Amino acid sequence: MATMQAAKKQLRKLIKDRLCDVSLDSSKNQTSKALETLFTMPQYQNAQRISVYLSMPSGEISTAGIVHDALKNGKEVFVPYTYKISHLADGPGSVMDMVKLDDLRDYEELRPDKWGIPTPTESSIANRINSFGSVGKSVGHDASSAPGQGGLDLIVMPGMAFDMNMNRLGHGRGFYDFFLERLQRHTDTKKGRMPLLGSNALKWSEQLLEESSVPTDSTDWKLDALITGDGQLLTASHSRIA
Ligand SMILES: Nc1nc2c(c(=O)[nH]1)N(C=O)[C@@H](CNc1ccc(C(=O)N[C@@H](CCC(=O)O)C(=O)O)cc1)CN2
Ligand SMILES: Nc1ncnc2c1ncn2[C@@H]1O[C@H](COP(=O)(O)OP(=O)(O)OP(=O)(O)O)[C@@H](O)[C@H]1O
């Protein structure tokens, strides 16, 4: 396990160094190509409830256009909110929920956190609907959501690195991996797994690696599909996205 974490750490460092060299022009161009592809996908067009990460100032495909398009088309948009928890002795010290944006104004009023990620204020959380179908922080409140309520139709995920086998490497806090496990436990499993879509920020060669290059263990979730910065859609053999 120590070796696995060391291998992931090393890969994160490698990618971070590569991302420093990407120009603003290239990053804008790749964002618009990736979004063009996303908007043509039936899985996006038909999704009513979507989760979208809100991009950092650099190193990620910008998702501002997705939020605008989704809200304009009447979709429910859920965004990450991370917070510390104390009462799970054998779990993580912080968890991530996906909380609902009210409207475009709400989105535009979000303020950047220490990583530059637009984030809902702590004081707004108690009144926000979360993706588990309850209101406020989900940890400690899970039991109140009726079975079948909540859930997401599409999850647009960030990542440091991806490979051709649809493996994904995050920033190493396990936020998405823990969140997906909780979401799966709380939503109607008969519907099957919600499609997980990664957007491969920045050029093919910078973040997309050869098959099985991302070290993974049993807690890592594979993506169903990946959109690259040149607008290509890669799908997995296990995927519900054809
Ligand atoms: N845009 C965006 N939003 C997101 C995520 C993300 O990866 N991207 N997250 C996905 O989980 C969660 C926030 N988690 C994060 C965890 C660590 C770091 C980070 O940069 N940590 C180290 C650097 C570690 C590294 O080299 O990767 C730092 O503080 O410098 C950023 C976000 C929720 N929102
Ligand atoms: N569902 C889980 N149950 C137990 N441990 C988990 C679970 N999900 C992640 N972990 C653990 O959390 C730690 C961080 O995970 P990992 O390095 O895979 O994060 P990541 O995929 O880079 O980040 P993220 O999921 O936030 O994007 C690892 O030690 C991993 O084993």
Read off the pLDDT of residues 51-83 as tens digits, 9 standing for 90 and up.
Answer: 999 999 988 899 999 999 999 999 999 999 999
Pocket of ligand 1 (CB under 6 A): 12, 16, 53-56, 60, 80, 82, 96, 115, 117, 158, 160, 170-173, 175-176
Beta strands 196-200 and 225-228 are: parallel
Helix, strand, coil distribution of the chain in percent, nearest 5: 35, 20, 45
CA dist list (Å): 232 to 19, 35, 110, 170: 20, 11, 31, 21
Atom 29 (ligand 1): residue with closest C-alpha?
Answer: 115
Confidence of residue 47 (pLDDT cuts 50, 70, 90): very high
Tell me, what's the ipTM? 0.92
Q: What is the CATH number of domain 2-235?
A: 3.40.50.10420
**Ligand 2 cavity residues, CB under 6 Å:** 8, 169-178, 181, 217, 219-220
Q: Do the beta carbons of residue 149 and residue 197 sit within 8 Å? A: no
Whether residue 240 is predicted with pLDDT greater than 80 in this model: the reply is no
- Residue 60 counted as an annotated binding residue: yes
Query: What's the 4 CA to ligand 1 centre distance in angstroms?
Result: 19
Using most ligand atoms within 8 A of CB, pick from 163, 177, 217 the residue to mutate for ligand 2: 177
Give the pLDDT confidence score for residue 59 in this predicted structure. Answer: 86
**Domain residue spans of the chain:** 2-235
What mean pLDDT do residues 200-227 have? 80
> Which pLDDT band, with edges at 50, 70 and 90, does 143 fall under?
very low
Residue 218 CB partners (closer than 8 Å, separation 6+): none
- Is the predicted pLDDT of residue 165 greater than 90, yes or no? no
Higher-confidence position of 169 and 147: 169
The enclosing H or E element of 198 equals strand 196-200
User: Dihedrals φ, ψ of 184, to 5°?
Assistant: -65, -40
pTM for this entry: 0.92
